[in-house]
Structure 1
Amino acid sequence: MRRLTALATLALLFAVAACTEGGGDDPTETPSGDASSGAPEPTAPVELALEPPSGFTAASGEDRAVLLAEEHVSYVFYVAGAEGGKDKITVTSYLLSEGADTSTYDLQAGIVTDYFSKLGSTVSLDNFHPALVHREEGIYRYGETTLDGVEVKWRDYFIFADRYLINITCQWDAYYAQVETACAGLTESFPYPEAWAAAETA
């Protein structure tokens, strides 16, 4: 009886092994082509949870005069008491076109330089360098131009994650100290959304 029981147990073990090797149901296997293995394909610019910096007010219905891409959303904050002037911070979240390659610093710099050439800045197009915006690597540029007879200066930060791009522009004329303080605070603690983090790790 013991011999028959041992033989039956051995046969059962062989059957289980054969089933596993033959492609039987294995709950640990991941079906091929499972879309959950990476970040979802971007379909719109990331929405940002931005509040006006201290001493600034939010504007509605305003945008950049020159855009880097059509699919975008902008957030504009003016120095309080100087609404509608030249002293402001503009943050724009873009979704770049399909096929846009932002995989290296040089490719990102090319996109930034092409855009900057349209702004009419008197600063050389070669004047850019790497920067950090809340621990994310990006590109920094400084610009100067004349708008409506007023000399305007600004700092630009460009941060990429796959097809997502965030552009932070801190612009001033008469209120440099206020803009500089708010700009430093924003770039040091920028609130990246979850979709951004997913694109970064994909």
Structure 2
Amino acid sequence: MRRLTALATLVLLFAVAACTGEDPDNGGTPSGGESSSPAPTEPLALAIEPPAGFTAVEGEDRDVLFAEAHNTYVFSVAGAEGGMDKIVVTSYLLTEGANTASYDSQAGLVTDYFKTLDQLTSLDNFYPTIVHRQDGVYRFGKKDIGGVEVEWQDHFVFAGQYMINISCMWDTHYAQIDAGCAEMTSGFPFPEEWTAITGTA
């Protein structure tokens, strides 16, 4: 009789846990991996070192922003400061509800952004990319700036409302930009908040 009573109590305990979404063995943590963390309120601060042969430049920003909430970091080819040969990294906080859940939705956001840049390449020019083991969207761009044809490659990576955009642009120092961009994207230092969402390090 005691064994039947104990068994009935155990069945009841698990039935209650199933109805409330709690696991009796883990202290009542909600099941299903859902996070109760509050929505982010500001873009991520990044700790980035200049690639080899580059210097950090203070006070520069992008002419056209993906979103208003952002932090921008600029690195110029050493000896060519003030020119168009540079790597620009921007950490954004996208508006709440922005759809970044799939490659297609990310590519749609990127294409909408490129519509505002008055660039000379097709809007269909986007491809998958990887930034330090993180999947993202790659774009190539070209634009006439003050009579100078400037080319660039863009890497966009997403984690929830967070987005990081790495732009590598050049007009005369392609070899240095290509090497610096490869160094930046292959070992990009994603902060802890990013890796907590994506599960990558």
3-state DSSP class of the match of 1:124?
Answer: coil
Deviation at 1:88? 0.3
Deviation at 1:174? 1.1
**In structure 2, how many angstroms separate the alpha carbons of the residues matched to 1:200 and 1:39?**
16
Asked whether the 8 Å contact 1:162–1:199 carries over to 2, the reply is yes
Indicate whether 1:95 and 2:93 are aligned. Answer: yes
Mean CA deviation greater in 152-161 or 43-52: 43-52
3-state DSSP class of the match of 2:152?
Answer: strand
Query: When the two structures are superposed, what TM-score results if normalisation uses the length of structure 2?
Result: 0.84
Q: Which of 33, 38, 59 is the aligned partner of 2:35?
A: 38
Deviation at 1:28? 3.5
Aligned-CA RMSD value: 2.5
**In structure 2, how many angstroms separate the alpha carbons of the residues matched to 1:159 and 1:57?**
24
* Partner of residue 188, structure 2: 190
**In structure 2, how many angstroms separate the alpha carbons of the residues matched to 1:191 and 1:97?**
24
* Partner of residue 67, structure 1: 65
3-state DSSP class of the match of 1:154?
Answer: strand
Deviation at 1:118? 1.2
Deviation at 1:29? 3.3
Structure 1 residues 31 and 125 mapped into 2: Cα distance closer, same or farther (>3 Å)? closer
Indicate whether 1:165 and 2:163 are aligned. Answer: yes
Following TM superposition, where does structure 1 have runs of at least 4 consecutive aligned residues deviating by more than 4 angstroms?
13-23
Deviation at 1:199? 1.7
Deviation at 1:39? 6.9
Structure 1 residues 31 and 168 mapped into 2: Cα distance closer, same or farther (>3 Å)? closer
Q: Aligned runs of 1:8-87 on 2, under 5 Å?
A: 18=9, 21=12, 28-30=26-28, 38=35, 40=37, 41-87=39-85
* Partner of residue 118, structure 2: 120
Task: Please tell me the residue identity of whatever aligns with 1:121.
Answer: Q
Bigger radius of gyration: 1
Deviation at 1:54? 1.1
Asked whether the 8 Å contact 1:86–1:172 carries over to 2, the reply is yes
What is the aligned-residue identity percentage?
53
Structure 1 residues 120 and 194 mapped into 2: Cα distance closer, same or farther (>3 Å)? same
Structure 2 residue runs without a partner (length 5+)? 17-23
* Partner of residue 145, structure 2: 147
Deviation at 1:31? 5.2
Q: How many residues align?
A: 190
Query: When the two structures are superposed, what TM-score results if normalisation uses the length of structure 1?
Result: 0.84
Task: Please tell me the residue identity of whatever aligns with 2:162.
Answer: Y
Deviation at 1:99? 0.7
**In structure 2, how many angstroms separate the alpha carbons of the residues matched to 1:195 and 1:39?**
14
Mean CA deviation greater in 40-49 or 106-115: 40-49
Structure 1 residue runs without a partner (length 5+)? 1-6
